[in-house]
Structure 1
């Protein structure tokens, strides 16, 4: 036990930031308030570096992904997964190649700006009820962007949401499809993270200390998804994207 605590982060300010961040990510992984999860790494980065925050979050994401996929496995839109997942995995490769070139703050600013631009477009130019779905090429492009930003800062939600939200899926189908998409994307990060030196004892043991909070967030989110009306569900998703966009843009510009 003493050997384990020697590697553990003991700064109480870290846990004051990390515990709410893990709960937010759990809510997002359940599909409820999708977009809030992108705030997790920026919140943790108030006390540690962005790469270390991403590394600590990775094992927690693995647990959340298993729980999310298990809860929603019967409701996945497989056609949408076949469209988006290959492009998302390409995005993780791009993220690995550019990890040491682009700073996390640059990525944060780009993701934040694009998120707010999408929300502004939805606000000022709302789609008609009979509007056709977004083109497939846009879905693939945004999936690549999602895989890239997910690799760098676990902030893949806003880009992919920009394509999937206009499809107006039911909350359960939306949550299930996003759960499978990000479970696969997150699983693809382990070997590149280890190659980049982010998988070490300090990060993994700290993740273990935070592990009890991972299922708590997912459990709460799954219960809420089944109880919230579809219009309110999407309002909360948009609110999460707005807060995420503001936070990421601020982090990048400052």
Structure 2
């Protein structure tokens, strides 16, 4: 894998900053666009492995600004459902090849965009009646599974958290706590599956400053930038990369 060429960093640096901004200030919903973008220039498994330590770094950097501002009950419910979901995702990873992972990541990307469009067009009510505890546990299972296979746990977490009608900062803080735990849990099977390599870890060290920059920007922008501007860009990126990954996987 020619990971150190200039073209790789043209893709990787904006992707990592974007992940930091999303996780640091906008509920993690668009952070997985980074893995989708990186999967265009490297193997999907390597892209996931490269991003996980950076996501964990962003989690650690954003814990303090949102410390104890989360909804603890909702966070623990999603974490409790998410841990078995991580195990399920680890099993699936062992039985599919790289092209199938490209199609899966691409499909999750497109599905997320369609879900957001349906919500914003009024076809689906994302924040209607409060979902039950059982529904929250199932959402947690989806969080763990999709987070493991594509770092895309944000959408199912959003479905449940939005139904609770949390305040903006309470919602953001809850996602920070949830994915801090889930990402730590993912690191164990990632290591067991041999996804971390010397090369990905070296790239992580090189990209770590950009992850921290994104996290810092995200926290600062949390109270000042309208979410619709940020997520509009995310939807465009996810749509383009999603279709590209599906095309590559099927071809």
TM-score, normalization: structure 2? 0.86
Which of the numbers 219, 227, 243 marks the counterpart of 1:250?
243
- Give the structure 1 partner of residue 34 of structure 2: 40
- 1:66 deviates by 0.6
CA contact (8 A) 1:111 1:159 kept: no
Question: In structure 2, what is the Cα distance between the partners aligned to 1:111 and 1:46?
Answer: 15
Q: Structure 1's 214 and 109: CA in aligned 2 closer, same or farther, altered over 3 A?
A: closer
Aligned with 1:124: secondary structure?
coil
- Give the structure 2 partner of residue 96 of structure 1: 90
CA contact (8 A) 2:78 2:136 kept: yes
- 1:205 deviates by 0.8
Aligned length: 243
Question: In structure 2, what is the Cα distance between the partners aligned to 1:171 and 1:194?
Answer: 34
CA contact (8 A) 2:67 2:173 kept: yes
Q: Structure 1's 118 and 128: CA in aligned 2 closer, same or farther, altered over 3 A?
A: closer
CA contact (8 A) 1:38 1:155 kept: yes
Q: Structure 1's 195 and 34: CA in aligned 2 closer, same or farther, altered over 3 A?
A: closer
RMSD over aligned CA atoms reads 2.5
Q: Structure 1's 170 and 105: CA in aligned 2 closer, same or farther, altered over 3 A?
A: same
Q: Structure 1's 161 and 183: CA in aligned 2 closer, same or farther, altered over 3 A?
A: same
Question: In structure 2, what is the Cα distance between the partners aligned to 1:34 and 1:186?
Answer: 12
Question: In structure 1, what is the Cα distance between the partners aligned to 2:224 and 2:197?
Answer: 40
- 1:42 deviates by 1.1
CA contact (8 A) 1:38 1:154 kept: yes
Q: Where does the alignment leave 5 or more consecutive residues of structure 1 unmatched?
A: 1-6
Question: In structure 2, what is the Cα distance between the partners aligned to 1:202 and 1:213?
Answer: 18
Q: Deviations over 1:71-118 (max 9, x none)?
A: 101201101112111111111110101102242123224423542443
- Give the structure 1 partner of residue 168 of structure 2: 171
TM-score, normalization: structure 1? 0.85
CA contact (8 A) 1:69 1:180 kept: yes
Aligned with 2:195: secondary structure?
coil
Matches for 1:40-189 after TM superposition, within 5 Å: 40-102=34-96, 103-122=100-119, 123-125=121-123, 127=125, 131-189=128-186
- 1:240 deviates by 6.1
CA contact (8 A) 1:108 1:251 kept: no
Q: Where does the alignment leave 5 or more consecutive residues of structure 2 unmatched?
A: none
